[in-house]
Structure 1
Amino acid sequence: MAKFYLKFGILTMGVLGIISCKNEQEKVEDFPVEPQSEAEVLNVSSEPLITDNFTADPSAHVFQDKLYIYPSHDYYSGIPEDDLGSHFNMRDYHVYSMDSVGGKITDHGVALDVKDVKWAKRQMWAPDAAEKDGKYYLYFPAKDKDDIFRIGVATSDNPGGPFVALPEPIENTFSIDPAVFKDSDNEYYLYFGGIWGGQLQRWQNDTFEMEDAYPADTASALKPKIAKLNSDMVSLAETPRDIQILDENGKELTTGDNERRFFEAAWVHKMNGKYYLSYSTGDTHNIAYAVGDSPYGPFTYKGVILKPVLGWTNHHSIVEFKGKWYLFYHDSSLSGGKTYLRSIKMTELKFNDDGSIRTIDAMVSNDGIK
């Protein structure tokens, strides 16, 4: 889940794929990497999809010919705000679905509650879901009894839940923001990781350290993780690996490259044989994307999908539905800008002829005025 924390202790959090490649033979390196001009940026204004609950970090999938959305559930817990996101004390998940874009949205009720997860103590942040052989899997982060984030999994025979959690988290998982990608060969991959309150910076040599450890600004940035899932969908087939994100010269993005480097919220889609990794830059609040030839990467940075939104966090998902691509995201417009009371939204993605993604600016009101 996109959260309210900053790597450098700077509390200036600004507010706040997948690609339709026209030619399957087009090379990734031909995609432009220059920033788009303001004239090329798409200004959009979307209404919250859910108004009776505060929802964030939407993971969208097409199951049973419907759009299903798996968000986190914001609520006011009374915990004071801090850098580590303690006030994001989510305790359950709801699942939502719709038959068509703009159609009626069904709330399937509480899909999973922290009290029903034996190993979890608190803070059920951004989840994701997957389907295999008619069974549905809900992947979620939560803090265990030692206040260390782990990633759990729950199962159901229905995409809307309710889900039953396994008694232990997935072995060798840690940090936050699980996202599961199903490749065209029916292999499944788990992506995860988030910096600062997400604790990724505390994992050194596969061991959790109580003190934060960040690379120097000029060193390679901390990286998201990937591991192939076993056929049982509830265990890892390998030790999690780092994912390289490169600049236009083939160099790894550095810690100090705040506008482009990974912070949290990894999401992967495949289009025309290419893999698109999108993610939040966290303390600069962009949803950025990079392109590669393998689910493991390396991925080359290409640009910004979504500029900062109202609310100081940015977290998304991207899905194709009935021939069009859609971006799901959140902002704090419904709560008047409260960072911990967000609402999920969606908008159609637009593409340039070369397959690059049109940058979206969602910081507009209903009349189109920022």
Structure 2
Amino acid sequence: MKRLAALSLLPLLAACAPTLAQTALETRQVTAPYNPILADGVDYTTDPAPLVVGDKLYILTGRDVAEPGVNDFIMPEWQMLETSDPKSGQWTHYPYFLKPNDVFKWATPGRAYGAQIVQGPDKRFYLYAPVMQQGSANKDGFAIGVAVSDSPTGPWVDAHPSGPVISQSYPVANDIQNIDPTILIDDDQRVYLYWGTFGRLKGVELEKDMVTFKGKPVDVNTLTGFFEAPWIFKRKGTYYMAYAGNKAGPDSECTEAVYYACIAYGSAKSPLGPWTYRGVMLDPVSSTTSHSGIAHYKGEWYIAYHTADGKNGGHFRRAVALDKFTWDDTVSPPAIEKVVQTKAPPPAPTPTRNLAPAARIVASNSPVPVQYWIRALNDGKVREAPLPPDTWGTWSPNNPKQQWVVYQWEQPLKFNGSRLYFWGDQPAGSGIGVAPPNGLASGILVGCR
């Protein structure tokens, strides 16, 4: 596959720019006094990637358009947020920033997953984007393309128009899903790229053309619980890698349930490792996925991440938030202190007859297997199409003959009924998949703690 040298991009960019520049990007002004930044349920944002250019902070995001109850990532395009002062809450929103097939002619529409823009050594801007390769014969069609522009807002030109710069068959074969690229331009102007998901993380140095591998990729397997969404950055000579981790269990510092993720991080003395796990910087958020980006802006450190906290939000209708974080420089290497999530003050509680949220729950399959939340039994939420962590199930490796749940309150209570909702995606009593029982034993156990 023929590569396009960096110098040859200049006439191509010059030739394409006048045509592309004629189409101005649509913008709207947003006031966001609290997280998430876009909270009105009109535009859902995801997979944030911050970029600092001069006195401006940009956040590249995806767009979720899944309808309520649809458990799939329906992501047709990228959006952009821009501000000169995050504390002001004033943002410029580019709702229709870029679609994958608008810049990568070899890409299919949709699947605009987490991408990142960096400013290269030549001062131009490079977009690293995972997209689906049209007509791919690979087992997994995701591939990474690179586009270039003179401005962080475009217009963009494919920097390697003959095809992706990474796929399962190019430039060297791999067997991972090629998404979630993250890029570091080091102090010496050398370029490093990491990418990966589902517990697989690869890294490689790039040539100065920003697309060609320089040496063989390395595999990273020392970051505890790595799942996806790597983000590489540097501070005071130390390299850091933030990532979505999902080492799950009742005693995990990351997450109880395997479907949720924390943002963990590791450090290294060189950009290609070896990497050492250091801890958790962001606890699990309200969406099952967690995807972060880190930026140093006007003397402060920021983390952008997504949640399900927008109006009518959900695991596939996410909204980007931005918070500051601090460092503990009394240890070596310096440690990231736990991020305090901020959001709008909660509304006044709605009167309810539901007594379950005040109860402590014990179940026959405690400790509850990592694919379930026991809190689903009293969180007051009934979802149309729940994911496994939004439900509780009786299964355990050693099921007792009778399964039970006990609700315990601080003092005796009087109530006149109870109601259970079952996720019935199989016929009752079938024993296949997740099926409700044929019948329920009557009786309610009420105790005092």
TM-score w.r.t. length of structure 2: 0.58
Residues 221-255 of structure 1 show CA distances to partners (whole Å, capped at 9, x for unaligned) of x4411111211113322332112426xxxxxxxxx
Deviation at 1:53, TM superposition (A): 1.6
Check whether the contact 1:326–1:348 (CA below 8 A) recurs between aligned residues: yes
CA separation of 1:90 and 1:169: change in aligned 2, threshold 3 A: same
Residues 244-274 of structure 1 show CA distances to partners (whole Å, capped at 9, x for unaligned) of 426xxxxxxxxxxxxx311001111111211
1:295 has 2:281 as partner: no
Distance (whole Å) between structure 1 residues aligned to residue 313 and residue 69 of structure 2: 17
1:111 has 2:87 as partner: no
1:53 has 2:40 as partner: no
1:136 has 2:136 as partner: no
1:338 has 2:324 as partner: no
Distance (whole Å) between structure 1 residues aligned to residue 132 and residue 145 of structure 2: 10
Deviation at 1:279, TM superposition (A): 0.4
If asked which structure has higher relative contact order (CA below 8 Å, sep 6+), I would say: 1
- Aligned residue number for residue 444 of structure 2: none
Check whether the contact 2:324–2:339 (CA below 8 A) recurs between aligned residues: no
1:235 has 2:187 as partner: no
CA separation of 1:111 and 1:156: change in aligned 2, threshold 3 A: farther
- Where does 1:206-285 land on structure 2 (aligned, <5 Å)? 222-245=199-222, 260-282=224-246, 283-285=259-261
- Where does 1:1-370 land on structure 2 (aligned, <5 Å)? 46-51=34-39, 52-76=42-66, 80-81=70-71, 87-103=72-88, 104-116=90-102, 117-121=104-108, 122-132=110-120, 133-145=122-134, 146=136, 148-165=141-158, 166-167=160-161, 168-171=163-166, 172=170, 175-195=178-198, 222-245=199-222, 260-282=224-246, 283-354=259-330, 355-362=334-341, 366-367=345-346
CA separation of 1:65 and 1:236: change in aligned 2, threshold 3 A: farther
Distance (whole Å) between structure 2 residues aligned to residue 91 and residue 367 of structure 1: 32
Distance (whole Å) between structure 1 residues aligned to residue 329 and residue 215 of structure 2: 38
Deviation at 1:364, TM superposition (A): 6.7
Query: Which stretches in structure 2 are left out of the alignment for 5+ residues?
Result: 1-32, 172-176, 247-258, 350-378, 380-449
Deviation at 1:327, TM superposition (A): 0.9
Residues 40-64 of structure 1 show CA distances to partners (whole Å, capped at 9, x for unaligned) of xxxxx95111244211111111113
Residues 9-50 of structure 1 show CA distances to partners (whole Å, capped at 9, x for unaligned) of xxxxxxxxxxxxxxxxxxxxxxxxxxxxxxxxxxxx951112
- Aligned residue for 1:115, secondary structure, equals helix
Bigger Rg, structure 1 or 2? 2
Check whether the contact 1:141–1:175 (CA below 8 A) recurs between aligned residues: yes
Check whether the contact 1:96–1:160 (CA below 8 A) recurs between aligned residues: no
Query: Which stretches in structure 1 are left out of the alignment for 5+ residues?
Result: 1-44, 82-86, 196-221, 247-259
Computed over aligned residues only, the root mean square deviation of the Cα atoms, in angstroms, reads 2.5
CA separation of 1:337 and 1:350: change in aligned 2, threshold 3 A: same
- Aligned residue for 2:87, secondary structure, equals coil
Distance (whole Å) between structure 2 residues aligned to residue 365 and residue 134 of structure 1: 38
CA separation of 1:93 and 1:107: change in aligned 2, threshold 3 A: same
- Aligned residue number for residue 208 of structure 1: none
Q: Which amino acid is 2:202 matched to?
A: K
Distance (whole Å) between structure 1 residues aligned to residue 346 and residue 37 of structure 2: 18
Residues 269-288 of structure 1 show CA distances to partners (whole Å, capped at 9, x for unaligned) of 11121111110014341100
- Aligned residue number for residue 439 of structure 2: none
Check whether the contact 2:323–2:341 (CA below 8 A) recurs between aligned residues: no
Distance (whole Å) between structure 2 residues aligned to residue 99 and residue 313 of structure 1: 28
Check whether the contact 1:66–1:97 (CA below 8 A) recurs between aligned residues: yes
Q: Indicate the larger mover: 292-301 or 138-147.
A: 138-147
Distance (whole Å) between structure 1 residues aligned to residue 96 and residue 157 of structure 2: 12
Distance (whole Å) between structure 2 residues aligned to residue 150 and residue 363 of structure 1: 35
TM-score w.r.t. length of structure 1: 0.70
Q: Which amino acid is 1:106 matched to?
A: T
Q: Which amino acid is 1:135 matched to?
A: R
CA separation of 1:118 and 1:182: change in aligned 2, threshold 3 A: same
Distance (whole Å) between structure 2 residues aligned to residue 123 and residue 353 of structure 1: 40
Deviation at 1:353, TM superposition (A): 4.2
Deviation at 1:306, TM superposition (A): 0.4
CA separation of 1:79 and 1:338: change in aligned 2, threshold 3 A: closer
Deviation at 1:140, TM superposition (A): 0.6
Deviation at 1:78, TM superposition (A): 8.6
